[in-house]
Amino acid sequence: MPSPAFSPELRHDWSLDEVMALFDQPFMDLIFRAQLAHRVCFDPNKVQISTLLSIKTGACPEDCGYCAQSASHGTDLEPERLMPLAEAIAAAAAAKALGATRFCMGAAWRNPTDKNLDRVTDMIAAVHDLGLETCVTLGMLTDAQTERLKAAGLDYYNHNLDTSPEFYGQVITTRTYQDRLDTLARIQAAGIKVCSGGILGLGESRRDRASLLRQLANLPQHPESVPINLLVQVEGTPLHGTARLDPLEFVRTLAVARLLMPASQVRLSAGRADMSDELQALCFLAGANSIFYGERLLTTPNAGADRDLDLFQRLGLSFEAVDAAERTVPGPCERCEAH
């Protein structure tokens, strides 16, 4: 059983067996250990707030089996062109008014064209002018495009690994796992912070969940943000009807993510609309310290702002106001060093 003197490890050489051993701990021991690790580097009663906006929706050429935006799937989603700059600015201003400190913009592209990137960099500059951190998810990037985003002042780039390399081909066939790793390498080499995580409940095994987290933790630098999503099943997608993941297994995965990447923000992401307040409270206890705030996540429902405010009040949680960009990874944070 871990002691109060427990100190988290900042490593990049985890074996799959070591990660599986964390998963296989008794639930109470795992959650206690994750909460101790969380308290070393973070205030346990503060949660970072991000807002996610779809700036270009649908007609995506990728065949991700979970996604309503794929042109390969028979969903009811109506494709939309890239959002005008004024609409994106208005949405960012509204997000800031609700307490968000980071504004994330997603476009359903395999990779952006240089012309589209011109418009996205304008959005990045405008959102920065509002005093918000910026994050975009645009698909795969070239070296030149990555440098353009860096020059525009982009804070974070989201590019999820989704699942394990072993299970990946059962979910996506139009890009490889290595394609995703190559994009992350470009982002990190350019000095842009990384937001990368995965989706649970795709039909994967516990070993796949362990393998996904191992991939993230063994990157040269831990992602500064690690979104953990629960599959939102959309009618018309291949994964609609997949057996639901045990909620305690979801919490267990969050706890292992916190232990493997103790100085990263672990974001409780998609799927919160269907989670009970009690399940979300367990997720925060397991080390989640970031959420997406607002009524929608790209094209799927999210927990409403009023519900979040009520839950935060009941749990004694408050919004993180400190600039998360000041926390450095991969080195231990100051509080880690103090322990």
50 contacts 293 by C-beta, under 8 angstroms: yes
| Tokens found for residue 209 | 């969940």
Provide the residue type at 282 as one letter: L
As a whole number, the mean pLDDT across the chain is: 83
pLDDT in tens, 217-264: 999 999 999 999 999 877 777 777 788 999 999 999 999 999 999 999
Rg (CA), the chain: 19
* Average pLDDT estimate for 90-107: 85
pLDDT in tens, 193-226: 999 999 999 999 999 999 999 999 999 999 999 9
| Tokens found for residue 128 | 């920065």
Residue 126 has pLDDT above 60, yes or no: yes
Pairing assessment for the beta strands 198-200 and 265-268 based on DSSP bridges: unpaired
Cβ-based neighbour number of residue 169 at 10 Å:
11
The residues that are catalytic are 60, 64, 67, 104, 135, 195, 267
69 contacts 298 by C-beta, under 8 angstroms: yes
18 contacts 267 by C-beta, under 8 angstroms: no
275 SS3 class? coil
| Of 52 and 47, more confident | 47
Residue 279 has pLDDT above 90, yes or no: yes
What is the reported pTM? 0.84
Determine which helix (DSSP H) or strand (DSSP E) holds 256, and give its type and residue range: helix 247-260
Cα–Cα distance between 192 and 135 in angstroms, integer? 10
pLDDT of residue 171: 84
pLDDT of residue 97: 83
pLDDT in tens, 321-332: 644 333 333 334
Measured torsion, CA atoms of residues 110, 114, 120, 126, in degrees rounded to the nearest 10: 160
Residue 37 has pLDDT above 60, yes or no: yes
